[in-house]
């Protein structure tokens, strides 16, 4: 009898109401593939972008880019994983919102015994995002200053701790005083409540008018202009998300006018497309967690059949830290 797995699928783009749970067949892995049984699945804004249509996909399509579990079977040519091994990933194609799946093995990473499935499902995409932001996008040195938006979110809380562990001053922003306190507790040097303060003005005060070396902005349209105004001459703007909508077209001339600024729009999936790089990024992340330099906050858990409620909470900015789904 062919195995099936409960899987979250969309047949059309729209709000959380388009999310459906279906029993989908899963077979044996082919060459370069594994079959993994999920114990926990991660929730990320990229899932919202795919559901809404901001990031188009051929439909119908399963959702989810991150999970942790146990390898059930390995295909020909897979040498870094074995059947029965604990593993975790943040990788395409989407389909992680499921009990089990067959997928390419290259970006699936062996999971240390010291890291739980829940923690791993909450940290792979967000943690490796922080790894490339701080280590692979632009040179950052001890003593540099970074402005990080959404500092109390899943990526943000990891970034606060990562910055502190590497001697980098992190100025965060968040939408409530409670979230600001959470960011500072996790290592942010300063945190600005953007609902009650002008973050551009406050950054100028904190830096003595000099501005910051780097801005890391996952918000998009709402913060883009202000983020540029926070940079010092020759500063780097890293736009890595669109939580408030996509950034409008940019006049490159304004970068010159504001002090020869630099701008980039990276993605995690470009960085991890190389198997060796992906595995090295995961090992660095695991080392930060095992060394207690970074603690992963799993602040919300939802059963898989409540995935629509999880999406609503994420979009309403009612969450802190990471959110996971339990199959």
- Is the pTM higher than 0.85? The answer reads yes
Instruction: Check residue 2 and give its pLDDT.
Output: 64
Query: Do residues 9 and 22 lie in contact, with contact meaning Cβ atoms separated by under 8 Å?
Result: yes
| Domains of the chain and any CATH numbers | 3-125+269-326 (3.90.180.10), 138-265 (3.40.50.720)
Chunked into runs of 10 residues, the chain (327 residues) has average pLDDT values of: 88 97 95 98 94 94 98 97 98 96 98 97 96 97 97 94 98 96 97 96 98 96 94 97 86 93 96 97 98 95 98 91 94
Cα angle at 253 between 252 and 258, to 5 degrees?
Answer: 105
As a whole number of angstroms, the distance between CA 101 and CA 93 comes to: 11
What is the greatest pairwise CA distance in the chain? Answer: 68
Query: Do residues 147 and 227 lie in contact, with contact meaning Cβ atoms separated by under 8 Å?
Result: yes
As a whole number of angstroms, the distance between CA 129 and CA 220 comes to: 16
Residue 165, burial from CB neighbour count under 10 angstroms (0-12, 13-18, 19+)? middle
Q: What does the chain come to in residues?
A: 327
Cα angle at 245 between 242 and 249, to 5 degrees?
Answer: 90
φ and ψ at residue 133, rounded to 5 degrees: -60, -40
Query: Do residues 5 and 26 lie in contact, with contact meaning Cβ atoms separated by under 8 Å?
Result: yes
Query: Do residues 304 and 326 lie in contact, with contact meaning Cβ atoms separated by under 8 Å?
Result: yes
In sequence order, the 6+-apart residues with CB closer than 8 A to the CB of 191 are 151, 152, 171, 172, 173, 174, 179, 180, 181, 183, 184
- Provide the angle, in degrees to the nearest 10, between the axes of the packed helices 154-165 and 117-135: 60
As a whole number of angstroms, the distance between CA 139 and CA 18 comes to: 42
As a whole number of angstroms, the distance between CA 41 and CA 171 comes to: 30
- Within a 13 Å sphere around the CA of 211, how many CA atoms are in the beta-carbon half? 18
Residue 192, burial from CB neighbour count under 10 angstroms (0-12, 13-18, 19+)? buried
Query: Do residues 91 and 272 lie in contact, with contact meaning Cβ atoms separated by under 8 Å?
Result: yes
In sequence order, the 6+-apart residues with CB closer than 8 A to the CB of 210 are 232
Instruction: Check residue 321 and give its pLDDT.
Output: 84
Question: Cis omega before residue 60 (within 30°)?
Answer: yes
Instruction: Check residue 327 and give its pLDDT.
Output: 96
């Amino acid at each position: 009898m062919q195995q099936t797995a409960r899987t979250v699928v969309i047949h059309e783009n729209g709000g959380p109401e388009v999310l459906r749970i279906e029993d989908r067949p899963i077979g044996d892995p082919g060459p370069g593939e594994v079959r993994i049984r999920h114990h926990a699945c991660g929730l990320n804004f990229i899932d919202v972008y795919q559901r809404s249509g901001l990031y188009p996909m051929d439909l119908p399509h399963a959702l989810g880019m991150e999970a942790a579990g146990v390898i059930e079977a390995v295909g020909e040519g897979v040498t870094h994983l074995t059947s029965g091994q604990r593993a975790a990933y943040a990788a395409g194609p989407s389909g992680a919102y499921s009990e089990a799946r067959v997928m390419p093995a290259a970006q699936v990473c062996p999971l240390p015994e010291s890291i739980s499935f829940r923690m791993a499902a909450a940290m792979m995409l967000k943690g490796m995002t922080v790894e490339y932001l701080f280590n692979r996008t632009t040179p950052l040195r001890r003593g540099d200053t970074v402005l990080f938006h959404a500092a109390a979110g899943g990526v943000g809380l990891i970034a606060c701790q990562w910055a502190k562990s590497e001697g980098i001053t992190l100025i965060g922003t968040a939408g409530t005083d409670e979230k600001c306190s959470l960011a500072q507790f996790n290592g942010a040097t300063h945190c600005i409540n953007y609902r009650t303060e002008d973050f551009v003005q406050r950054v100028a005060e904190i830096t003595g008018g000099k501005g910051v070396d780097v801005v890391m902005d996952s918000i998009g349209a709402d913060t883009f202009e202000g983020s540029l105004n926070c940079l010092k001459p020759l500063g780097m703007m890293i736009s890595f998300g669109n939580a408030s909508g996509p950034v409008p077209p940019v006049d490159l001339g304004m970068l010159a006018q504001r002090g020869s600024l630099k701008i980039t729009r990276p993605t995690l999936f470009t960085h991890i497309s190389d198997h060796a790089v992906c595995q090295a990024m995961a090992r660095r992340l695991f080392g930060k967690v095992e060394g207690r330099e970074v603690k992963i906050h799993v602040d919300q858990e939802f059963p898989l059949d409540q995935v629509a409620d999880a999406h609503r909470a994420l979009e309403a900015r009612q969450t802190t830290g990471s959110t996971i789904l339990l199959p």
